Amino acid sequence: MPLVMSRVNRFDYESGYDYSWDATPGPDERDYAIYSVAEDGVPVARALVNTKPLLLVGYTAPPELLTTELDYFEVHKSHRGRGVGGRVTQALTAAHGRLHALSSPDAVGFYRSIGWSEYLHESGRSLSQAELFVGP
């Protein structure tokens, strides 16, 4: 089924997601694109893309790869394990170009499974348990 990505202004708590984050952009809203993603009219994912991310210091990734950040990303619980996450990240890449993400520990396997490249911190350990992944 085709995915429909809609730009929205913010996210509030929604059941079916693990994180109840309030993704209201800061004062410079033009730097963000917030998406609600649906399939057959049913919400399946949500994402916030930051087109002017903070400079990441100390990671082994070349800085020119770190221009657009997938800041928040989550697939609805009922749609996990069905390939939705990979399809959404492909659609977001088509819309914004190469993306990078600082992954939470529980999402490392996801980013590895969709073929994103993993970069370590120069210290050999991740900061705040966040792993850096860069998409194709």
In DSSP terms, which residues pair with 134 in a beta bridge?
Answer: 100, 117
Q: For residues 102 and 53, what is the distance between their CA atoms, to the nearest angstrom?
A: 11
Tens-digit pLDDT profile for the chain (136 aa)? 789 998 887 776 677 777 656 555 555 555 888 899 999 999 999 999 998 877 888 888 888 999 899 988 999 999 999 999 999 999 999 999 999 999 888 888 999 999 999 998 887 766 565 789 999 9
Amino acid (1-letter code) at residue 90: Q
The CATH superfamily assigned to 3-134 is Gcn5-related N-acetyltransferase (GNAT) (3.40.630.30)
Q: For residues 46 and 27, what is the distance between their CA atoms, to the nearest angstrom?
A: 21
Q: Read off the pTM.
A: 0.85
Domain ranges of the chain: 3-134
Nearest to 134 by CA among 96, 95, 102: 102
Q: For residues 30 and 65, what is the distance between their CA atoms, to the nearest angstrom?
A: 21
